[in-house]
Amino acid sequence: MKRFRQRPGEISEFSDLPLWQKADTIDLLYVGYGLLIVSLVVASYLLGALQWLPHDPNALNLNLLLAGPGTPGHLLGTDFMGRDLLTRLVLGIQAYFLPGLMAVASALFGGTVLGVVAGYRGGGAGLIVTFLGNLIDSFPRLVLILLVIAAFKPDIWYIMAVIGISNVPAVASLVQGKIAMLREKNFIEAAVALGLPTRTIIAKHILWYNCKALLIIQATLGMAEAILMETSLSYLGFGVQEPTPSWGNMVQSGANYFLQGNLWPSTAPALAILFTILGFHLLGDGLNNLLEGKRGR
Amino acid sequence: MTMEARAPMSESLLEVIDLKKHFRQRRGLFANLRGAEGVIPAVDGVSFYLKEQETVGLVGESGCGKTTVGKTILGLTGATSGKVIFAGHEITAMGGEPLRALRSSMQMIFQDLDAGLNPKMRIEQILREALTVHHRPSDAECARRIHELLDQVKLKSNKLSQYPHELSGGEKRRIGLARVLAVGPRFIVADEPTSALDVSIQAQVVNLLRDLQQDLALSFLFISHDLRIVELMSHKVAVMYLGKIVEMGVSERISHRPAHPYTRVLWTSLVEKQNREAQPAAASGAWGVFDFERPSAGCRFAPRCPVYQAAGRPAICTDAASEPPLRELSSGHYCACHFPLS
Amino acid sequence: MSASLLKIDNLRTYFYSRSKRAFIRSVDGVSLAINRGETLGIVGESGCGKSVTALSVMGLITATPGVITGRIDFANGTLHRNLLDGLDQSVRLSEEEGRIMDVVKDSGAWQRQSDRLQRGVRGGEIAMIFQNPKASMNPFEPVGAQIVEAVRLHTEHTGKKEAEQRALHWLERVRIDSPRLRFHNHPYGLSGGMCQRAMIAMALAAEPSLLIADEPTTGLDATIQSKIVDLLAELKAEIGITTLLISHDMGVIGRLADRVAVMYGGRVVEEGGAQQVLAGGEGNHPYTRALIASIPGAAEVRQKSYLQAIEGDVLDTINIPAGCRFYERCNRVTEAVRERCADCEPQLFDAGSGQRVRCWLFAP
C-alpha cells in the first residue's frame, strides 16, 4: 500500500525544494555517514601531522603487552609490543591520506584532460585516447605495482602514482561519454552558435555544470580504492614497512596473536579499514543519487 | 549554375553561392578496401540571397538538408565547397576568433527547445551569460537589458529565478529567442521554430516573430516543413528536395502557382489530409525510400513525380547527364524541372 | 442495451510529483463512449490527457498512483468486461473541498488484477498503434516475425505457415510496397511511413474489435501523413473497424472521425458529431473555437495577417483552478456568466443534436 498526499494550499511554483527534502532518506543517511567518516579521517590526519597524539606510537611498554580495550591510558588497548593502538590507528591514516589524494588528483586531472580532448575534438584524438585507455586497462594493476616496487622501493607514493594513472582511462571515458551526451542534446552547438569561446564552453558548461557530480563521485571511489590498495599491500608487506604504522601492517602483525585469543590488535585496524572504505563508497553512492537525481522523482 | 539575376553584393545581407555539404558515410572495412566512396550529399549546390529585413523561407521534408543549410551558413559545420558571404565577410573562409566575433550579428534558433538552455542554470544566469558574450555591460545595464528582453518576448519576470525544466514548451521557445536577441543579431536562422509546440502556442510564437522582425529590423532564414507558416512569414520561399533547391520565388507564387511538381505535391498533401472527399493516391505521386548513396540518375524527383508518370516517363528526366538546372521562369521565379507546370 | 463497444465512465488517472508534493491530474473525470463501427476522435493539446486516457484503457499505466477511479466497460458481443473491475477495492480516496487530496493504493495488487482483466483483451480485442513507429517496434526482430507473433497469439491461425500467410496478407492490405521483401526487413530498414504501415498491419492482424491510434501521423513527413490518413480511411471503409483516434491535428481528425471529443486540462470539454465540433463557431466551446481560429487559414496566409493566438499557456494539470479550467484564457466570457465561470466548474450541457459542451454559456 502506498500513500500519496497532496499538500493542501498553494502548490509551490518551483519544483525546487531544498535538496534534503527532495532526497530519499537512505541517500541522506549514506551521505551523512560518508561525511562523518571523511571528517574523522581528515581530523585524524591533522592530529597525526601535528603530532597531537595521546602516546608516542613507537613507545614500547613491555609491561602492557596485548592489553585489551579499555585499559586505563590506552583506550583501544596495546599491540604485541605494548604500543598504543589508538595512536597507531590515527597515525596509520598518514599512510594513505596524502598519497591517496595524489592518486585521486592525478586520475581526475589526467582523465579530465584526456576526456575533454577526446570528447570535444573527437575524431583522431578520440581514437588515440580510447586506444591508450584500453592499453592502460589491459595491464594487470597488481603486477605493475609489484614491478614498480621491485624496480624502485616499496614506497607508497610510487604505488599511488601507478593507481592514479591506471584510473585515468575510467575517468576519461566517463567525461567523454558526458560530452557525447551533451553533444547529442545540441548543447555544445548552441553554445558555439551564441559565440561563447571554447575555453568557456569546456570549463563552465561541460566541466563545472555537468561533470562536477561525476568527478566528485570518482574522487570518493578513487579514495576508497586507494585505501584498499594501500592496506592490502601493506598487509602483504609491500607497502608501508614497520615500524611506521599502517592499518594493513597492523592487521598483519596482529594476525600472529589472533589464534591465541588476542583478537583485538588485528580486529581494530581491520574494522577501521572496513568502516572507512564503506564510508567512502556510501558517500559516492549517496552523492550520485542526490546529485543526479536518480531515485524516486 | 544558371542563376543570372543575382543581386549585387552590396545590396544583400547574405549571399549563398553553390553551397555544398557532403557527409562521409561510415562504411564497413571491406567496402573501404574496395574503394567504394560513401558520401551523403546533404546539401548539394544551394544558392540564394537575402536582403536586409527580408525573410526567406526554406521548405522541405525531413532529410532534404534544410537544417544543414542553416548550420553551414552560420559556420557551425564546415562547408564542403561553395561560398557564404554575410555582410561582406566570407564565412566559409573564416574560422576561430574572427568567426566567433561575427556571431554577434548572426544567430540561430534551434529546433530543439532545450538547446542552449543549461538545465543547471537559472533563466537569469542564462540571459546574463548571453549578454556578456560579446559585450561588457555593467551590472545595472545587464539588469535593465534582461527586463527589456523579457518584455520583448512577453514573459513575466518571475521566470527569471526558475530553471529550464520548470518552463512550458512555449516559454522555453521564448527564452531561447530572448537569449539569441541578447547578443543583438541582424540575421537569425530559425530552424523549425514552431514545430515542437502546441497549435495554440505556435500562433503566439509566429505573431511574436513578426513583431520582433518589425521592431528590431531583423532578417530571417525561416526553415520549416509547415508550408502555411512559411508562406505567412516569408517574402521569398525556396523549396528543397534531397539537397537541392527545386523551386524558388515570391511566397504567393510558390503557394498558388507552383511550377515544380514537388511543390504541388507538398501543397496537395496538406489539403488532402483534411479533405473528406479526397480521392486517395492519384495526384500525390508514389512514395518510396530514398537511398542517398545511389541518387537516381538525372532528376532526383523523377521516381515520385506525377508529371513524369503522366507524360509516359520521358527519358530526359532520368538521363544522368541532364539533371535539370535551376532556371529562371519569370522575374524572380526559379524552377529546376524539365517540364514545369504552367 | 447500448451499442457501445467501449464505455469509459468517470476515469481518473493521477500521477504524483514528489518535488511539488502534489498530484498531476492527467485524466480528471473523463467519460466517453464509442459505438460499434464508428471512429471517435479525441483532440487536444499537450497535457490534456488524451494519450493517458488511451493508455489507461489498455492497462498500460504503471507509474503511481495511476488509475484511481472509473469504469471501462468493454462489450463486443461475446465478451463483456469492466476493465477496471475491483479498482475500488485497491484504492482509498479522501477529498477536501471537492478535490481529491489523499490517495492510498495497493499498486501491486491492482497491477495483478488489471493484468488478469486485460488478458485476451489487450492486443487481441483492443489493439493500439503509437506515435513513433520505429521506437514502438522491436528493433531486433524482422517486421514480419512481429506480425506473425500477433497473429498466432490472438487469432485462430496458430500454425506457423498459416500465420505467415495472414501476416503477408495484412502487409499487402496496408499497401506497403514489396510486401514479401519488407516482411524480412527490420524496423530500422524501413522509412517512417512504411514502419507506421507495418505497425497498423501488426495491430489489425490480431483482428481486434477496437483500434486505438495514438497520434499515428505525428512525426511523419507531410506527404507521408496524407498517405497514412488515406490508408486509415480506406481500412475504415473496407473493414469497418471501430477506432479511437487521438491527435492534435484537426485536419486528420476531420478527415477520419465520425464523432469528436475535445479535451482540455484532463476533462472532456466538448463532444459531438465531427462536422459540428470542428465547425469552430458560435455553437462550440470557446476553446474549440479559439483552437480552430489559431490555425492559419488560407485567407490569413495569403494576407499575411496576424494569427489569432490563444493567450496564456496550456493548463498544466497540477494547478487546477477552481471554476472552469479554461476561464483564464477564455475570450468569450460575458458578464452574465463571469461569476459562475470563476467559481464553479460547469458540467457537460446539451447543445442539441447530440452535441454537448462544458461551458456556462450553454447552460439552459
Does B284 touch chain C if contact means CB atoms closer than 8 Å?
Answer: yes
Residue A78 falls inside a structural domain: no
What's phi and psi for C343, nearest 5 deg?
A: -105, -30
Query: Do B259 and B276 touch, CB atoms closer than 8 A?
Result: no
Among A174, A237, A241, A238, smallest CA distance to A211 is for A174
Among C9, C3, C48, C95, smallest CA distance to C215 is for C48
Residues of C with Cβ-Cβ distance to A16 under 8 angstroms: 19
What pLDDT is attached to residue B331?
84
Question: ipTM of the assembly?
Answer: 0.82
Neighbours of B122 (CB within 10 A): 17
Tell me how many domains chain A contains: 1
List the grid coordinates of A213: 557530480
Out of C26-30, C232-236, C280-284, which region has the weakest mean confidence (pLDDT)?
Answer: C280-284
Largest pairwise CA distance in chain B: 71
**What is the Cα–Cα distance from B228 to C249, expressed in whole angstroms?**
14
Q: Select the residue from B108, B125, B175 to test the A interface by mutation, using most A Cβ atoms within 10 A.
A: B108
C80-134 pLDDT, tens digit per residue, is 999 999 888 888 888 888 788 888 998 889 999 999 999 989 988 999 999 888 8
Query: Do C8 and C228 touch, CB atoms closer than 8 A?
Result: no
Question: Which residue, chain included where needed, has cell 528493433?
Answer: C139
Q: Is residue B278 predicted with pLDDT exceeding 60? A: no
* Distance from the C238 Cα atom to the nearest Cα atom in chain B, whole angstroms: 14
pLDDT grade for C158, boundaries at 50, 70 and 90:
confident
Residue type at C54 in one-letter notation: A
Residue A17 falls inside a structural domain: no
Burial class (CB in 10 A: 0-12, 13-18, 19+), C52: buried
Exposure class string for B231-256: b at 16+ Cβ within 10 A, else e:
bbbbbbbbbbbbbbbbbbbebebbbe
Q: Does C255 contact B199 at a Cβ distance shorter than 8 Å? A: no
Q: Reduced to 3 states, what is the DSSP secondary structure of residue C353?
A: coil
Give the β-pairing of A2-5 and C99-105. Answer: antiparallel
Nearest-CA residue of chain A relative to C108?
A1
Q: Is residue C187 predicted with pLDDT exceeding 50? A: yes
Q: Does A193 contact B162 at a Cβ distance shorter than 8 Å? A: no
Q: Does C19 contact A15 at a Cβ distance shorter than 8 Å? A: yes
**Cα separations (Å) of B64 from A91, B68, B228, B253, C220?**
69, 9, 18, 21, 14
Q: Does C18 contact A296 at a Cβ distance shorter than 8 Å? A: yes
What pLDDT is attached to residue C281?
84
Give the single-character DSSP code of C269. E
Residues of C with Cβ-Cβ distance to B280 under 8 angstroms: 230-231, 233-234
Greater confidence, B10 or A7? A7
Residues of C with Cβ-Cβ distance to B227 under 8 angstroms: 222
Nearest-CA residue of chain C relative to A4?
C103
**What is the Cα–Cα distance from A130 to A8, expressed in whole angstroms?**
54
Among A24, A16, A2, smallest CA distance to C14 is for A2
**What is the Cα–Cα distance from B218 to B181, expressed in whole angstroms?**
10
**What is the Cα–Cα distance from B330 to B327, expressed in whole angstroms?**
9
pLDDT grade for B141, boundaries at 50, 70 and 90:
very high
CB nearest to B162's CB, from A14, A186, A187: A14
* Distance from the A92 Cα atom to the nearest Cα atom in chain B, whole angstroms: 41
What pLDDT is attached to residue C214?
93
Q: Does B110 contact A16 at a Cβ distance shorter than 8 Å? A: no
Give the single-character DSSP code of C211. E
* Distance from the C294 Cα atom to the nearest Cα atom in chain B, whole angstroms: 6
What pLDDT is attached to residue B37?
58
Residue A68 falls inside a structural domain: no
Q: Select the residue from C21, C28, C90, C315 to test the A interface by mutation, using most A Cβ atoms within 10 A.
A: C21
Nearest-CA residue of chain B relative to A12?
B166
**What is the Cα–Cα distance from C312 to C292, expressed in whole angstroms?**
16
CB nearest to A186's CB, from B115, B134, B162: B115
Q: Reduced to 3 states, what is the DSSP secondary structure of residue B36?
A: coil
CB nearest to B107's CB, from A185, A189, A193: A193
C279-334 pLDDT, tens digit per residue, is 888 889 999 999 988 888 877 887 888 888 888 888 888 888 888 999 988 988 88
Q: Is residue A276 predicted with pLDDT exceeding 70? A: yes
Residues of A with Cβ-Cβ distance to C21 under 8 angstroms: 5-7, 11, 17
Query: Do C208 and C5 touch, CB atoms closer than 8 A?
Result: no
State which CATH number among 3.90.79.10, 3.40.50.300, 3.20.20.140, 1.20.1290.10 fits the domain covering C1-120+248-364. Answer: 3.40.50.300
Q: Is residue B6 predicted with pLDDT exceeding 60? A: no
pLDDT grade for A110, boundaries at 50, 70 and 90:
very high
**What is the Cα–Cα distance from A230 to A99, expressed in whole angstroms?**
9
CB nearest to B61's CB, from C221, C233, C300: C221
Greater confidence, B316 or B218? B218
Nearest-CA residue of chain A relative to C320?
A11
Query: Do B153 and B175 touch, CB atoms closer than 8 A?
Result: yes
What pLDDT is attached to residue A295?
43
Nearest-CA residue of chain C relative to A12?
C20
Residues of A with Cβ-Cβ distance to B107 under 8 angstroms: 193-194
**What is the Cα–Cα distance from B303 to B130, expressed in whole angstroms?**
47
What sign results for the dihedral spanned by CA atoms C166, C171, C175, C178?
negative
**What is the Cα–Cα distance from C151 to C228, expressed in whole angstroms?**
22
- List, as one string, the DSSP characters of B283-342: GG-------TTSPPSS-TTGGG-HHHHHTT--GGGG-TT-PPP-EEEETTEEE--SS---
Q: Select the residue from A3, A6, A10, A24 to test the C interface by mutation, using most C Cβ atoms within 10 A.
A: A6
Q: At a CB cut-off of 8 Å and minimum separation 6, what does B13 contact?
A: B50, B51, B52, B54, B86, B87, B186, B187, B219
What sign results for the dihedral spanned by CA atoms A202, A207, A210, A214?
positive
Q: Does A185 contact B112 at a Cβ distance shorter than 8 Å? A: yes
Q: Does B266 contact C223 at a Cβ distance shorter than 8 Å? A: yes
Greater confidence, A17 or C361? C361
* Distance from the C102 Cα atom to the nearest Cα atom in chain A, whole angstroms: 5
Average pLDDT over chain A reads 83
Greater confidence, A120 or C167? C167
Query: Do A32 and A283 touch, CB atoms closer than 8 A?
Result: no
Exposure class string for B29-49: b at 16+ Cβ within 10 A, else e:
eeeeeeeeeeebbbbbbbbbb
What pLDDT is attached to residue B279?
46
* Residues on chain C bordering chain A, Cβ-to-Cβ distance under 8 angstroms: 14, 16-23, 64-65, 96, 101-107, 318-319
Q: Which domain holds residue A30?
A: 24-52+90-292
What pLDDT is attached to residue B218?
93
Nearest-CA residue of chain C relative to B291?
C191
Q: Identify the CATH number of the domain in which residue A183 sits.
A: 1.10.3720.10
Does A17 touch chain B if contact means CB atoms closer than 8 Å?
Answer: no
* Distance from the B34 Cα atom to the nearest Cα atom in chain C, whole angstroms: 24
Q: Is residue C262 predicted with pLDDT exceeding 90? A: yes
Give the single-character DSSP code of B155. -
State which CATH number among 3.40.50.150, 3.90.245.10, 3.40.50.300, 2.102.10.10 fits the domain covering B12-105+185-335. Answer: 3.40.50.300
Q: Does A209 contact B120 at a Cβ distance shorter than 8 Å? A: yes
Residue type at C90 in one-letter notation: S
* Residues on chain A bordering chain C, Cβ-to-Cβ distance under 8 angstroms: 1-8, 11-12, 15-17, 22, 296-297
Neighbours of B19 (CB within 10 A): 23
What pLDDT is attached to residue C264?
94
Give the single-character DSSP code of A79. -
Residue type at C158 in one-letter notation: T
Q: Is residue B288 predicted with pLDDT exceeding 50? A: no
Query: Do A189 and B75 touch, CB atoms closer than 8 A?
Result: no
Number of A–B residue contacts, CB under 8 Å: 62
Which chains does A contact via 3+ CB–CB distances below 8 A? B, C
Which chains does C contact via 3+ CB–CB distances below 8 A? A, B
Q: Is residue C23 predicted with pLDDT exceeding 70? A: yes
* Distance from the B274 Cα atom to the nearest Cα atom in chain C, whole angstroms: 4
Q: At a CB cut-off of 8 Å and minimum separation 6, what does C245 contact?
A: C39, C40, C41, C42, C213, C216, C232, C252, C253, C256, C257
B305-341 pLDDT, tens digit per residue, is 888 888 888 877 777 777 888 888 888 888 988 888 8
Query: Do A73 and A39 touch, CB atoms closer than 8 A?
Result: no
Q: Does B166 contact A15 at a Cβ distance shorter than 8 Å? A: yes
Nearest-CA residue of chain A relative to C110?
A1
Mean pLDDT of the region B295-303: 75
C194-208 pLDDT, tens digit per residue, is 889 999 999 999 999
Q: Is residue C350 predicted with pLDDT exceeding 50? A: yes
pTM of the model: 0.83
Does C136 touch chain B if contact means CB atoms closer than 8 Å?
Answer: no
What pLDDT is attached to residue A18?
64
Q: Reduced to 3 states, what is the DSSP secondary structure of residue A176?
A: helix
Q: Does A7 contact C106 at a Cβ distance shorter than 8 Å? A: no
Out of A1-10, A197-206, B111-120, C219-228, which region has the weakest mean confidence (pLDDT)?
Answer: A1-10
What pLDDT is attached to residue C332?
87
**Cα separations (Å) of A289 from A15, A176, A216, A292, C168?**
18, 21, 12, 5, 49
List the grid coordinates of B153: 518576448
Q: At a CB cut-off of 8 Å and minimum separation 6, what does B16 contact?
A: B46, B47, B48, B49, B69, B73, B82, B83, B84
Q: Does A2 contact C65 at a Cβ distance shorter than 8 Å? A: yes
Q: Does A8 contact C101 at a Cβ distance shorter than 8 Å? A: yes
Q: Select the residue from C19, C89, C99 to test the A interface by mutation, using most A Cβ atoms within 10 A.
A: C19
Residue C40's DSSP bridge partners are C244, C259
Q: Is residue B77 predicted with pLDDT exceeding 80? A: yes
Query: Do C96 and A8 touch, CB atoms closer than 8 A?
Result: yes
Residues of A with Cβ-Cβ distance to B74 under 8 angstroms: 193
Nearest-CA residue of chain C relative to B290?
C191
What pLDDT is attached to residue A290?
81
Helices (H), C240-277: 250-256, 274-277
A127-179 pLDDT, tens digit per residue, is 888 888 888 888 888 888 888 888 887 788 888 888 899 899 889 989 988 88
Question: Which residue, chain included where needed, has cell 470557446?
Answer: C286
Query: Do A283 and A24 touch, CB atoms closer than 8 A?
Result: no
Delimit the domains of chain B by residue range: 12-105+185-335
Query: Do C261 and B309 touch, CB atoms closer than 8 A?
Result: no
What pLDDT is attached to residue A220?
92
Q: Does A296 contact C101 at a Cβ distance shorter than 8 Å? A: no
Q: Reduced to 3 states, what is the DSSP secondary structure of residue A224?
A: helix
* Distance from the C276 Cα atom to the nearest Cα atom in chain B, whole angstroms: 14
Q: Reduced to 3 states, what is the DSSP secondary structure of residue C244?
A: strand
Out of A223-232, A252-261, B279-288, which region has the weakest mean confidence (pLDDT)?
Answer: B279-288
Q: Is residue B287 predicted with pLDDT exceeding 50? A: no
What pLDDT is attached to residue C67?
92
* Helix (H) or strand (E) run with residue A158 in it: helix A156-184
What pLDDT is attached to residue B255?
81
Exposure class string for B64-74: b at 16+ Cβ within 10 A, else e:
bbbbbbbbbbb
Neighbours of C165 (CB within 10 A): 14
Q: Does B166 contact A196 at a Cβ distance shorter than 8 Å? A: no
What pLDDT is attached to residue B273?
65
* Distance from the A5 Cα atom to the nearest Cα atom in chain B, whole angstroms: 22
What pLDDT is attached to residue B4?
39
Among B169, B199, B174, B197, smallest CA distance to C290 is for B199
Average pLDDT over chain C reads 89
Question: Which residue, chain included where needed, has cell 522523482?
Answer: A297
Residue A7 falls inside a structural domain: no
Q: Does C296 contact B232 at a Cβ distance shorter than 8 Å? A: yes
